[in-house]
């Protein structure tokens, strides 16, 4: 169950500066304060919003921790049958400097982070689903 302060912050975000002491509530901007009945009526929606926020934060943290070795990354691409597509996408980059940077990264990076802008650019270029790529990275972390 979320706190009264969180309900106030989620449901009435523009009021800001809520102070909750037991049953005493004040608004930082000196404005009116919702009644306890209004707060309790807002609780279900606020709890859903709060849970969604926590889930998004957890996903972002999970993605940030998905790091593969170069060998794991290469094996994942081979197992998924997309290595040639990734190489073609890199070869199709118009800017020669960017293409060379991507080629060097693809061939020599010791680790590959799921949140890398390079991984995201390849994912978008190949129209891959972000959740699928997350799953592939998670699975590939088990490769030896």
**In this predicted model, what pLDDT tens digit does every residue of 3-44 receive, in sequence order?**
776 777 777 776 666 777 776 777 776 677 777 788 888 888
Angle (CA) 76 77 80, round 5°: 85
Is pTM, for the whole model, over 0.95? no
Question: Cα angle at 76 between 72 and 78, to 5 degrees?
Answer: 120
Measured between alpha carbons, how far is 115 from 87 in angstroms, rounded to an integer? 19
């Amino acid at each position: 169950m979320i706190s009264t302060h969180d309900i106030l912050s989620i449901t009435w975000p523009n009021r800001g500066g809520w102070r909750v002491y037991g049953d005493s509530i004040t608004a930082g901007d000196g404005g009116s304060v919702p009644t306890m009945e209004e707060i309790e009526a807002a609780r279900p929606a606020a709890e859903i919003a709060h849970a969604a926020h926590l889930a998004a934060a957890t996903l972002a943290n999970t993605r940030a921790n998905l790091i593969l070795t170069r060998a794991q990354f290469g094996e994942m691409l081979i197992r998924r049958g997309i290595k040639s597509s990734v190489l073609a996408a890199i070869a199709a980059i118009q800017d020669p400097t960017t293409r060379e940077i991507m080629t060097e990264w693809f061939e020599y990076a010791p680790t590959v982070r799921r949140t890398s802008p390079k991984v995201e650019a390849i994912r978008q270029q190949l129209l891959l689903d972000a959740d699928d790529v997350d799953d592939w990275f998670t699975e590939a972390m088990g490769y030896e």
